[in-house]
Amino acid sequence: MSNAPTANPIAPNPIAVEVTRGRDPADAYVESRHRAACAVVAADGTLVHGWGDVGTPVFPRSAIKPIQALPLLESGAAEAFNMSAAEISLSCASHNSEDRHVETVTAALARAGLTPDDLECGPQVSSNKEVLAERLYAGVQGSPLRNNCSGKHMGFLLTARHLGEETRGYVRRDHPVQQRLFQVISEMCGVDVTGLPEGIDGCSIPCLALPLSNLALGMARLADPRGLGEVREAAAKKIIRSIAAEPFMIAGTGRFCTAANAAFKSRAIVKTGAEGVMMSAVPELGLGVALKIDDGDRDSRANGVAMAAVLRFLGVLDDGAAAEMAGQLEIPVRDLNGARVGSARAHAQWPSG
Amino acid sequence: MSNAPTANPIAPNPIAVEVTRGRDPADAYVESRHRAACAVVAADGTLVHGWGDVGTPVFPRSAIKPIQALPLLESGAAEAFNMSAAEISLSCASHNSEDRHVETVTAALARAGLTPDDLECGPQVSSNKEVLAERLYAGVQGSPLRNNCSGKHMGFLLTARHLGEETRGYVRRDHPVQQRLFQVISEMCGVDVTGLPEGIDGCSIPCLALPLSNLALGMARLADPRGLGEVREAAAKKIIRSIAAEPFMIAGTGRFCTAANAAFKSRAIVKTGAEGVMMSAVPELGLGVALKIDDGDRDSRANGVAMAAVLRFLGVLDDGAAAEMAGQLEIPVRDLNGARVGSARAHAQWPSG
């Protein structure tokens, strides 16, 4: 596989989300459009649905965190450090850096004799606009503890500590922590990682680009881990249960992942990733879902809306769940006086194109 | 023309900007893609170049501010209030809300016996991430004065005051200020505004969607105003001169518009708009350019890069200008430790597709 920039793809991905503007909601005109591709895959590898290009590798970014949490469970570290469901959910999180997130990371690190200074993810105040404003008004400075990935890094550190590995340099490609992640991604997603496009993630760890169909397979196996061995099966189930039980920990106030994971009540879990990725594991159907908004969806107005439409199509998002997460199915656009002047909503033909 | 949401367009717009991620710059893989359409039009209405769909109306948002400033000059208000080039540039601005922007708006309002309380644009702290963080740390609260559109609104207020109109309610559709804007857009862009899609802009004034070809025509006539009558010709020239002379006022520190307007030295002016719009008036060639990133380009990493490539194609962005605005031609992507891990750059086949 070549890492060279691709030419304009011949077949463009379908439009998944439209953003409207109008004098009133009834008079809305489409101002902007987000294209996307999405794969729905069963645990046996069957591509159940594929919309758009599901074969070209994309970086899953933080959406793959539930899979990256497997070594924390499988190594015995989670048990040894007596980790709660909240802490396991947090180890899969892109969190808002709200007090409970920060305090929980700090406490879990302390139980392993570690401190926030051991985190190598880089400083952040909050990835969430509202929390950021609050924190800046309060004079809070950026710190690795407040990095939206600090829960994942806490999990990395605890795994390394439990296995007696040097924790310093755990973000480096050749550290056992990262090598285990490559291995678990290879096994869960059914790929040979050699030759996959590789980059550096926002939190400084190496990241791999995989076809959406392989990412969806990884989530399908997380949803239906039968045949993956006793240890992995138990780990996968615990990760799903923990996210479902502690939806606040995986994101925070106002976030799609928190609202959706609360509404689905373990029928499905969802996880966002930067640059427009959203993935889901659906135990109820034994399916995995992976989608990416082509353009990167830089203010995350499209990836949740697009995933909600896919989960509604699959029958997972029923009327009850839709009512619980109503604020996430269509994202209002407001003027600076606060008036609603449009919205981001799923395209009438999505999913399908 | 129907305001109903459109179906997936048959012909997708070309990819204008690619965003890469890699282990190092030489190993970059394309992570996200921004599609765009662009029209280049001469003052006589000839479509010189059209890439993608230049016929479907799009909201120009703030990119049309230089045209919206015409009534301020044509009414005699700018002269009556002795407005400087800095103030005229600011009346076309989407500014960062830096001290000089805020002080200049306040002073200009005061000369007309008005105060920041007369601004109806809605509160903001700053539209710029860096300035926002600084201001929040300093405890600055949102205010209409700090709204990135406050310079334009100052121009609206001064025009209304000069013409003896009630200033209260100047953002409403039926106020003479807004009716004049509809009229000047109609004349400059060669459109009948009746039946155009209409919305509410971020600063609460009504906004119209026009085909990119008509928006480019408006900018071409601003660049080459011969035949528009003495008053309009003088006004158009003064707007171009003022933006070129005071590039800081139209945007601010670190911004594409400030860097580009400084580098082009009145050979061209550029103006950004929300949701991925960028427009340019090119007096040197008697051309107007209007482009829109389909997806809305929510962190403005694509519209400047795309416009720079178009202006390079047209010969306006020469090596000297490119050197002066080097930081704007390719936008680095960084991890949270500050390392460069990718970039947003023009697609090798843009402009053309």
Across chain B, mean pLDDT equals 95
3-state secondary structure chain B: CCCCCCCCCCCCCCEEEEEEECCCHHHCEEEEEEEEEEEEEECCCCEEEEECCCCCEECCHHHHHHHHCHHHHHCCHHHHCCCCHHHHHHCCCCCCCCHHHHHHHHHHHHHCCCCHHHCCCCCECCCCHHHHHHHHHCCCCCEHHHCCCHHHHHHHHHHHHHCCCCCCCCCCCCCHHHHHHHHHHHHHHCCCCCCCCEEECCCCCEEECEEHHHHHHHHHHHHCCCCCCHHHHHHHHHHHHHHHHCCCCCCCCCCHHHHHHHHHCCCCEEEEECCCEEEEEECCCCEEEEEEECCCCCCCCCHHHHHHHHHHHCCCCCHHHHHHCHHHCCEEEECCCCCEEEEEEECCCCCCC
Q: Nearest by CB to B23, from A32, A122, A200: name it.
A: A200
pLDDT attached to residue B352:
86
Contacts of B299 in chain A (CB under 8 A): 298-299
Which B positions 198-237 lie with beta carbon below 8 A of chain A?
A: 198-204, 206-207, 209
* Residues B163 and B112 sit within 8 Å (Cβ to Cβ): no
| ipTM score assigned to the predicted complex | 0.96
pLDDT attached to residue B104:
98
> Is A12's CB within 8 Å of B29's CB?
no
Q: How far apart are CA B20 and CA B28, in angstroms?
A: 6
pLDDT-derived band at B129 (thresholds 50, 70, 90) equals: very high
Our measurement of the distance from residue A255's CA atom to the centroid of its chain's CA atoms, rounded to an integer in Å, reads 12
Whether B79 has its CB under 8 Å from any CB of chain A: the answer is no
The reported pTM is 0.96
Best of A10, A17, A33 to disrupt the B interface by mutation (most B CBs within 10 Å)? Answer: A33
The more confidently predicted of residues B10 and A316 is: A316
Percent of chain B at pLDDT exceeding 70 = 97
pLDDT attached to residue B25:
73
Per-run averaged pLDDT (10 residues), chain A, 353 residues:
44 95 86 98 98 97 98 98 98 98 98 97 95 94 97 98 98 98 98 95 97 98 98 98 98 98 97 98 98 97 98 97 96 96 96 83
Tell me the mean pLDDT in the region B196-200.
96
pLDDT attached to residue B4:
43
pLDDT attached to residue A240:
98
Chain segment B243-291, per-residue pLDDT in tens: 999 999 999 999 999 999 999 999 999 999 999 999 999 999 999 999 9
* Residue B351, burial from CB neighbour count under 10 angstroms (0-12, 13-18, 19+): buried
Helical axes B230-245 vs B212-223, angle rounded to 10°: 90
Contacts of A19 in chain B (CB under 8 A): 275, 296
pLDDT attached to residue A9:
52
Residue B230, pLDDT above cutoff 70: yes
Q: Which residue of A has its CA nearest to B16?
A: A8
pLDDT attached to residue A321:
97
Whether B254 has its CB under 8 Å from any CB of chain A: the answer is no
pLDDT attached to residue A2:
37
